[in-house]
Structure 1
């Protein structure tokens, strides 16, 4: 991305420059460096507005919203997603519209407004099905499952997560599969079905190790520990919690460390 950026600046190709900056911002977001992700998205936004590239402008607003959501600033995340949504509807970009709706829904869920979270997830689901975007469809179903779980409707939560899992398997998206399986495990844990919860957590653990997703691996070990603790097998519960703690320390995840120590 840095080489593309250098060439774009050299030949004064503002669109290529914006694309390279956008990719760098997304990379920093994935690395957890949200301040840098916001900085790059702001540079893309400035170029997009300068060259009147509404698509780049919408993408930059979306990336800023995602970074602020990851920072826990949900008010700013919603504000940027609303600006992204307005542009997406103006230029009739259904994919960008869906992304903006998904971002708003996730932010509202994080704020504990599950009614709004469900509304936005349903709108995203409708667009995803319309444009045949299976990945977004799976994500929307997963978001609906999480919202219904938070409302205590475990039957609906399980139903939506099963649908999300089916799509993840169909499109061979291991990360989506792991996410759906993890959410199913948590739902069964809440229902007191520890055998099923343990079974799902084992599947998440296998996927986490396969795709080298240390955070998912740690979460799965935590779920296994909880299941075995509730089953009265404290030796296994301690063993899994210790493994979870080691990963949380390795990836510098304070929330994971707290959960494991607890």
Structure 2
């Protein structure tokens, strides 16, 4: 019955093939033939997949995986997991797809199957990209790229570079995206994959336009002062406090030149926060006091209240420091 099912399946007559595989599974289960049952479940998954019955396909593959793992047949478990992962991704069940591919990755590493390992890493990277978790995607795609280089597989290298370009683009890291897209195009040209040479060239055109737009926005932000504040905030996150202060001060100067009181208050507020972290309380209070005055004159009650609240916190911190210093001297 299993062989008859194979004959129908090879002819792409999936419905009659399905019926024979179901009979095979029932008989194998009654006879306790675990491997035959696993094979039948795997082929049921294949048939359901070809019939676009994705949930039934996943169920068949999952039962096959369970049986293959019990029997220690890891290579076929890997194949079934690859199909499950692909189906879950097509159903946009990304978290489940990642879990399945991680399980597959662990098995192929046990088998020392470097080709399948590269495929797993690439698939996981693509799924993270689908989830719009681009930094996570990059981590896996870079591993996939390194392994493709090790395997000397130009097609896999090209694919990894192309997806890295997409991720960097989505993170607005256009220079990195451009470098990756150029590498992808070069490799696609080597293997004469015309379709993806064109796709890579289209991506490069898009990146050129985005870079121009980004540069225009940057110049506008520099002219208005916003650029310096945004850079200062990023520098603070990177623990580069001194350079952040310089950025905030440059922003303040531009806002003053442009007579932008809200911008000035924003820059002063950020400076006040930084100075507090540095325990320079007098500077912190001075900056926040100026910010309050500016927002009061601008009749922005919300931000005036915000800076007033921040100022009160700074003064409390300053008083505590003074009391502590006094007690220290007294002792």
TM-score range, shorter chain: 0.5 to 0.7
How far apart are 1:68 and its partner, in Å?
5.7
Does structure 2 conserve the Cα–Cα contact (< 8 Å) formed by 1:45 and 1:57?
Answer: no
- Which residue is equivalent to 1:36? 12
Q: Where in structure 2 are the equivalents of 1:142-157 lying within 5 Å?
A: 142-157=122-137
Matched, 1:227 2:204: yes
Matched, 1:111 2:88: no
Find the structure with the greater CA-based Rg: 2
- Which residue is equivalent to 1:133? 113
Question: Cα gap change, 1:73/1:195 in structure 2, threshold over 3 Å: closer, same or farther?
Answer: farther
How far apart are 1:93 and its partner, in Å?
0.5
How far apart are 1:161 and its partner, in Å?
0.5
How far apart are 1:141 and its partner, in Å?
1.3
Q: Where in structure 2 are the equivalents of 1:1-262 lying within 5 Å?
A: 25=10, 36=12, 38=14, 45=21, 58=38, 62=42, 65=45, 73-213=53-193, 217-232=194-209
Distance 1:182 1:144 in 2: 15
Question: Cα gap change, 1:129/1:225 in structure 2, threshold over 3 Å: closer, same or farther?
Answer: same
Distance 1:229 1:104 in 2: 34
Does structure 2 conserve the Cα–Cα contact (< 8 Å) formed by 1:44 and 1:60?
Answer: no
How far apart are 1:143 and its partner, in Å?
2.0
Distance 1:209 1:47 in 2: 49
Question: Cα gap change, 1:230/1:209 in structure 2, threshold over 3 Å: closer, same or farther?
Answer: closer
Does structure 2 conserve the Cα–Cα contact (< 8 Å) formed by 1:54 and 1:87?
Answer: yes
Question: Cα gap change, 1:204/1:125 in structure 2, threshold over 3 Å: closer, same or farther?
Answer: same
Question: Cα gap change, 1:68/1:135 in structure 2, threshold over 3 Å: closer, same or farther?
Answer: farther
Distance 1:84 1:208 in 2: 37
Does structure 1 conserve the Cα–Cα contact (< 8 Å) formed by 2:169 and 2:207?
Answer: no
Does structure 2 conserve the Cα–Cα contact (< 8 Å) formed by 1:58 and 1:96?
Answer: no
- Unaligned ranges ≥5, structure 2: 211-331
TM-score, scaled to structure 2: 0.50
Distance 1:133 1:40 in 2: 35
CA-atom RMSD in angstroms: 3.8
Question: Cα gap change, 1:46/1:116 in structure 2, threshold over 3 Å: closer, same or farther?
Answer: closer
How far apart are 1:196 and its partner, in Å?
3.1
Distance 1:201 1:118 in 2: 25
Distance 1:180 1:60 in 2: 35
Please give the secondary structure, in 2, of the residue aligned with 1:148: helix
1:118-143, Cα deviation, whole Å (9 max, x unpaired): 11111111111112111221122112
Does structure 1 conserve the Cα–Cα contact (< 8 Å) formed by 2:22 and 2:44?
Answer: no
Does structure 2 conserve the Cα–Cα contact (< 8 Å) formed by 1:182 and 1:220?
Answer: no
1:209-238, Cα deviation, whole Å (9 max, x unpaired): 44455xxx42452343133134239xxxxx
Does structure 1 conserve the Cα–Cα contact (< 8 Å) formed by 2:165 and 2:180?
Answer: yes
